[in-house]
Amino acid sequence: MKNQADYAVLFFADIMHDGQREAMKGPAGARLLFSGDKPVFILGTEQYELASERGYRNFWAIYHRPPEQQHRHYLLERRDSLLPVDEQKFKGAYYTPLNIVDKAYDQLRATLGENWQNRYIVWDMCAGVGNLEAKHSNLRNVFMSTLDQADVTIMKSNPAFAGAEIFQYDYLNDDITDFGEIDYALSGKLPTALRQAITNAREGRKGAKPILVLINPPYAEATNDNTTRGVASDGSGSKAKVAKTRLALSLKADYGKATNELFAQFVARIDLELPTSTLAMFSTLKYVISPTLEKFRETWKAKFLGGFVVHSRAFDSVPGNFPIAFLMWDTAVNVSVANIDTRVLNKEGKEVGEKTFIISTGRKLLTDWIIRPRSNREEVVPLKNALTTATATKDLRGTRWSDDAIAYMWCNSNDLQQAAKTALFSSGFNGGHGLFVTSENLWQAAIVFAVRRLIKPTWLNDRDQFLQPSEALTDEFKSDCLVWMLFNGSNLTAGADGLRWNERDWSLVNHFIPFTEGEVGVSGRFQSDFMVRYMAGMIFSAEARAVLDAGRVLWKRYHAISFPRKIREEFKLNRPDVGWYQVRRALEAYGDTELTDFDAFKAAYAALGTKLRPLVFEFGFLSQPLGSVS
pLDDT in tens, 388-436: 999 988 889 999 999 999 999 999 889 998 999 999 999 999 988 999 9
Q: Is the confidence at residue 89, as pLDDT, over 50? A: no
**C-alpha 144, offset from chain centre:** 28
Burial class of 140 by CB neighbour count within 10 A (0 to 12, 13 to 18, 19+): exposed
The predicted pLDDT at position 87 comes to 45
When the pLDDT of each residue in the chain is averaged and rounded to a whole number, the result is 87
Question: Is the pLDDT assigned to residue 220 strictly greater than 90?
Answer: no
Q: Cα separations (Å) of 602 from 457, 487, 599, 605, 607? A: 21, 10, 5, 5, 9
User: Which range (333-337, 459-463, 602-606) has the least confidence?
Assistant: 459-463
Measuring CA to CA, which residue among 133, 142, 168, 157 is closest to residue 75? 157
Look at residue 388 in the predicted model and tell me its pLDDT.
97
Whose CA is closest to 126, among 270, 248, 250, 30? 270
Range among 73-87, 232-246, 464-478 rated most confident: 464-478
Residue 528: per-residue pLDDT? 98
Q: How confident is the model at residue 311 (pLDDT cuts 50, 70, 90)?
A: very high
Give the residue-averaged pLDDT of 15-44.
Answer: 70
Q: Identify whether the C-beta of residue 222 lies closer than 8 Å to the C-beta of residue 264.
A: no
Q: Round to whole Å and give the CA distance between 415 and 462.
A: 7
Strand ordering across the sheet containing 38-43: 30-35, 38-43, 46-48
pLDDT above 90: percentage of residues in the chain: 62
- What CA–CA distance (Å, rounded) separates 126 from 503? 56
Structural contact between residues 288 and 324, judged by C-beta atoms closer than 8 angstroms: no
| pLDDT level of residue 76 (50, 70, 90 thresholds) | low
Query: Sign of the CA dihedral 284, 613, 617, 625?
Result: positive
Give the global pTM. 0.79
Instruction: Output phi, psi for 47, to 5 deg.
Output: -120, 135
**Residue 379 DSSP SS3:** strand
Sheet holding 211-215, edge to edge: 165-168, 142-146, 121-124, 211-215, 278-283, 323-330, 303-311, 340-345, 351-357
